[in-house]
Amino acid sequence: MATLRVEHLNKTFPAIERGSDATTAIDDLSFEIGGHVFVSVVGPSGCGKSTLLNIVSGIETATHGSVSVSEDGSPARLGYVFQEPRLLPWRTVMQNMLYVLEGEDVPDRARDYLRMVGLDDAGGKFPAQLSGGMQQRVGIARAFAVEPDLLLMDEPFSHLDAITARSLREQLQGIWTEAKKTVLFVTHDIAEAVQLSNRVLILAPGGRLFADLPIELPYPRKASDTEVAMAQAELLRRFEEMQEETDAARATDVAS
Amino acid sequence: MSSVPVARASRGGRPPSLVTRRRVRGIAGLVIGVGGFLLVWTLLSALIFGPFTLPPPSRIGSVMWEIVRSGQFIHHFVPTILRLAYGFGLALLIGFPVGYLMGTSRWWRAFFHDMTIVAGSIPGITYAVLALVVFGIKILGPILSVGLVSMPYVAINVAEGLDSVDHRLVQMSDAYGRRRASIVRNVLIPSVAPFAFAGVRLSFALAWKVEQLTEVFGSSSGVGFQIRHEFEDFSIPGMLAWVLLFVIFMILVERFVLAKLERYLFRWRLEDRP
Amino acid sequence: MSQATTVAPASPIAGVGRLLRSPLTARIASYLFLLVAWQLLSLYEDRFPPPADVFGFLWIEVTGGSHGGIVRGEFLEHFAATLPRFTLGIAISMVLGIVSGVVIGGSKIAEALLKDTLLMLVALPAIIWAFLTQMWLGLGDTAVVITTFLSAFPFVAVNVVQGIQAVPRDLRRMSGAFHVSSYRRVRHLLLPAVTGYLFAGFRFAVIIGWNAVLLGEWFSSSEGVGYQARYWYDANRYKGFVAWVILFIGFIVLIDRVALVPLQRRAFRWRDTQVKQAQRRVEGIDVAVTGA
């Protein structure tokens, strides 16, 4: 388990055409997470959630500020679950697992994690032979199999049908409890955030941190639990607050 | 009551599977098609042209058999096929780097653009006669004409393949800290391979004709040389026999070897979801 | 290209750099490269004439030389012999190709019986027709015309068959359900589907027919472009030979790029956008350089 420290992070994309403004995706964002926690980042679309994950994973670079992931001083290992499965279509499920793994006992490890997502007999199949939900499960197994210090998940269930997504959310809680990983989970679905995480960061448009809320409920949680529903209502209230605040700010902007 | 299942079984058991039925239909189609071909030919030979101008299939068949039996077939096919193989090797060797440059750089794409586009409309005879002048009657002529004909197709398709690389897979590989060599092997090459193969298949149909034409113009062995030889002997049956042997051989290679190989190499594209 | 003209260079050096990196420079560089390669080849292999000799010869063939100023080059005379043969061969192959394509594409029985014959004809190399017609008919126009026709015809027929079979079955069924008249069915369903394939077939016929007419003239004629190339080859005058090869390549490339490719692209413009976009990507440099 690692510590992720984000300090005064800023990411600005340059103007695409001349005359248009540069867009700020993340603005002065600071937070720290560590230990066996499941942290969700929620916010409206375009508030820089995915950009945050890309900067943490090193796919993109920050404009200002810093991001550090450390595991007792040594560089941390990362796992990443994307919106789409992102499997290599020309490799079997097993080969896809082995592609990202290094070290000894690698095939055994791959098999263990496939078993964890219930796909122990799919190792010899090509991704095209699996359903969308199964492919996403392979993506999850792959991320856990690298035994990451920090696991990044970018709306991993948003492309799946509601029933498959619901069952995968329940499975994910089990896997996370068992594997004891630090998870940073990005979503625009408040119900999903409440059901899965024990801490929720709300980002406002423009990538500013609006609220940092703990959710202290025992696992496993079901979407239909009363406590989960109540926490959801509380979170929604904060969201509306944020909405009003943004609208008011925009109104004064227009007025001036 | 126990007689019912027995009676049912004796009526032919399970209905034939879809695969078997398709295979039976394929064979039947081939028989009818080949039968149709021989029928048209026989009719043309008997009714319009006469047996001297257009010998009937039976006559050509016996000449073909004679060519195969006497070992002439092997003797002239081996050099022809080898030249074809060397030519394709050359096309791949140069076509791949050129395609890589075209796929990754705007400047190089513009550099090779006219050459590759024009190559598609150059008549085959050009390669044959130029090879004759530049290299004379040497083994190099046919090899180079095969290489020159196929290279643009390989290059264009490799460039297209590079365009088609899914950058999200490259991103995924970066996120998991894969090294460049590993990304090339596991992401780039498999993305480009189907395109490159399509290029090879496309150019193959053209390349063997041009190769054979080059042999007609200047070579001392090979199928094209034999065709020229029979032409100079005024032997229509001999000429047709050599051509048909070669055409049938190439159609078999295209249909069975190349098509099967493609299906095997790219079997991951078959979508049989449960 | 458009960038290089609209964006004013910040400094002369940056401007030069941008000019060197422009696609137009790349094109010019590619022609220079070919010229240099040709020159080097002629140094290495003395049978192969250097570009200057060949272009000098070409100039005389086309203009008739500097004296007199009256156009009397061999060029016109031999193209005038070849073009009627070529046109006639293509015309016959179009007519018979369309007829047999419609028959094979329209009837299941005809397809079963004749499709493999057609594919066999597609696979036969043009040289066979050149040899056969010479043996059948001796030297002369007829042999050349028939070689052209026999080589090009199967490609037209195959494309027409494909076009007819490409009319989607559910559209045919839809037309049946709405009781569309047969005139409208041909006008709005069959013709648009077949036209693109017909143009593709026409383009193939022209390219393949041109190769065939040259082969035919090489072996069984005493005038024409193909004969002229052979004449200089037999005379061991390789600069004349290469000049004529350049003439016959130039002719077909010009026809193909100026007329056939745009026609075919226009006829196929309804096809799925993906193919079109891919094509545009390949052709993108054209647009960039000509500024169209």
B213: chain C residues, CB-CB within 8 Å:
125, 127
Domain positions in chain B are 3-47, 55-269
Longest dimension (CA), chain C: 74
- Report the largest interatomic distance among the alpha carbons of chain A, rounded to a whole angstrom: 65
Asked whether the beta carbons of residue B186 and residue A57 sit closer than 8 angstroms, the reply is: no
Between A95 and A159, residue with greater pLDDT: A95
Residues whose CB falls within 8 Å of the CB of residue B34, separated by 6 or more in sequence, listed in order:
C116
CATH number assigned to the domain comprising residue A199 = 3.40.50.300
Token digits of residue C98: 């369309």
The CA distance from B185 to C153, in Å, is 45
Nearest to C116 among B36, B122, B163 (CB): B36
And the tokens for A163? 């029933």
* C123/B126 Cα distance (integer angstroms): 19
| Rounded Cα gap, residues A230 and A234, in angstroms | 6
* Burial class of residue C71 (count of CB atoms within 10 Å of its CB; 0-12, 13-18, 19+): exposed
Minimal CA separation from A235 to chain B, in Å: 31
Q: What is the pLDDT of residues A124-162, one digit of tens each?
A: 999 988 988 899 999 999 998 988 888 999 999 888 888
* Subunits with 3+ C-beta pairs closer than 8 A to C: B
Chains within contact range of chain A (3+ C-beta pairs < 8 Å):
B
φ, ψ (nearest 5 deg) of residue A8:
45, 45
Chain C positions in Cβ-Cβ contact with residue B216 (cut-off 8 Å): 127
C172, exposed or middle or buried, with CB in 10 Å at 0-12, 13-18, 19+?
A: middle
B136 vs C contacts (CB less than 8 Å) = 47
The DSSP letter of residue C221 is -
Report the distance separating Cα C92 and Cα C112, nearest Å.
Answer: 25
Mutual angle of helices C191-220 and C126-137, in 10-degree steps: 60
Tell me the average pLDDT across A192-214. Answer: 88
Contacts of B268 in chain A (CB under 8 A): 89-91, 126-128
C209 within 8 A of C150, measured Cβ to Cβ: no
Is residue A48 in some structural domain?
Answer: yes
Q: How far is C114 from chain B (nearest CA, A)?
A: 6
State the smallest CA–CA distance between residue A44 and chain B in angstroms: 23
**Parts of chain C with a pLDDT under 50:** 1-9, 67-71, 272-292
- Among the partner residues B112, B123, B134, nearest to C48 by beta-carbon distance: B134
Q: Which residues does B124 contact at the CB level (< 8 Å), separation at least 6?
A: B149, B206, B209, B210, B213, C126, C211
Closest-approach residue (CA) in chain A for B267: A90
Q: Determine contact: B269 vs chain A, CB below 8 A.
A: yes
Would you kindly state where each structural domain of chain C is located, as residue ranges? 2-48, 75-290
Using alpha carbons, select from B251, B242, B201 the residue that is nearest to residue B222: B242
Asked if residue A245 belongs to a domain, the reply is yes
B-chain CB neighbours of C117 within 8 Å are 33, 36-37, 40
Note whether residue A173 is domain-resident.
no
Q: Please give the pLDDT value at position C59.
A: 82
Q: Is residue B181 within 8 angstroms of chain A, CB to CB?
A: no
Token code pair at residue A233: 């209502």
Residue C169: per-residue pLDDT: 65
Bridge-based pairing state of the strands A74-75 and A199-204: unpaired
Q: Give me the phi and psi of A36, to 5 degrees please.
A: -85, 75
**Min distance A42 CA to chain B CA atoms (Å):** 22
User: Which of C273, C276, C252, C253 lies closest to C264, judged by CA?
Assistant: C276
Q: Reduce the secondary structure of chain B to three states and give it as a string.
A: CCHHHHHHHHCCCCCCCHHHHHHHHHHHHHHHHHHHHHHHHHHHHHHHHCCCCCCCHHHHHHHHHHHHHCCHHHHHHHHHHHHHHHHHHHHHHHHHHHHHHHHHCHHHHHHHHHHHHHHCCCCHHHHHHHHHHHHCCCCHHHHHHHHHHHHHHHHHHHHHHHHCCCHHHHHHHHHCCCCHHHHHHHHHHHHHHHHHHHHHHHHHHHHHHHHHHHHHHCCCCCHHHHHHHHHHCCCHHHHHHHHHHHHHHHHHHHHHHHHHHHHHHCHHHCCCCC
Number of folded domains that form chain A: 1
Residues B59 and B46: their CA atoms lie apart, in Å, by 12
Pick from C271, C224, C225, C221: nearest CA to C248: C225
Task: Please give the pLDDT value at position C70.
Answer: 44
- Average pLDDT of A70-81? 78
Per-residue CA distances from B63 to B55, B127, B185, B245, C1 (Å): 11, 31, 50, 10, 62
Say what the pLDDT of residue C15 is: 74
CB burial readout A54-67, b (16+ within 10 A) else e: bbbbebbebbebeb
Amino acid at C48: F
Q: CA torsion sign, C67 to C69 to C75 to C81?
A: negative
The length of chain B, given as a count of residues: 274
Mutate to test the interface with B, among A82, A99, A135, A147 (most CBs of B within 10 A): A99
pLDDT at C274: 42
As given in the structure block, the two tokens for residue C25 are 């420079």
Residue C264 is encoded by which pair of tokens? 């075919």
Bridge partners (DSSP) of residue A7 are: A66
Q: Are strands A64-71 and A74-75 parallel, antiparallel or unpaired?
A: antiparallel
Helix (H, G, I), strand (E, B) or coil at A5: strand
**Which residues of chain B make contact with C43, given a CB cutoff of 8 A?**
none
Closest CA in chain B for residue C130: B231
Q: Which of B110, B129, B239 sits opposite C285 (nearest CB)?
A: B110
User: How many other β-carbons are positioned within 10 Å of the β-carbon of residue B50?
Assistant: 11
Q: Which of A48-52, A211-215, B208-212, B269-273 has the lowest mean pLDDT?
A: B269-273
Q: Measure the CA–CA gap between A72 and A51, rounded to whole angstroms.
A: 26
- Token pair recorded at residue C51: 């570009």
SS3 state at A223: coil
Q: Are C2 and C291 in contact (CB under 8 A)?
A: yes
Given a cut of 50, the residues of chain B with pLDDT beneath it are 1-13, 272-274
Q: Is residue A111 part of a domain?
A: no
Residues spanned by the domain of A248 = 3-77+182-255
The answer to whether residues A36 and A179 touch, using CB atoms and an 8 Å cutoff, is no
Return the pLDDT at C9: 45
Count of CB atoms situated within 10 Å of the CB of A99: 21
- List of chain B residues whose C-beta atoms are within 8 Å of the C-beta of residue C120: 37, 247, 251
CA closest to A77 among chain B residues: B176
Among partner residues B172, B268, B273, which is closest to A89 by beta-carbon distance?
A: B268
- A82 near B168, Cβ under 8 Å? yes
For residue B82 the two structure tokens come to: 């080898």
Tell me phi and psi for residue A218, to 5 degrees. Answer: -70, 150
Helix axes B124-135, C238-255, angle to 10 degrees: 160
Q: How far apart are CA B254 and CA B125, in angstroms?
A: 23
Q: What is the mean pLDDT of residues A100-122?
A: 87
Token pair, residue A29, equals 């964002």
Q: What percent of chain A has pLDDT over 90?
A: 24
> What was the pLDDT predicted at B138?
66
Third-level CATH fold of C75-290: MetI-like fold (1.10.3720)
Using a CB-CB cut-off of 8 Å, the residues of chain B touching A89 are: 268-269
Residue C18's contacts (CB-CB under 8 Å, 6 or more residues apart) are C3, C4, C7, C9
**Superfamily of segment(s) B55-269:** MetI-like (1.10.3720.10)
- Of all residues in chain C, the one with the smallest CA distance to B108 is C26
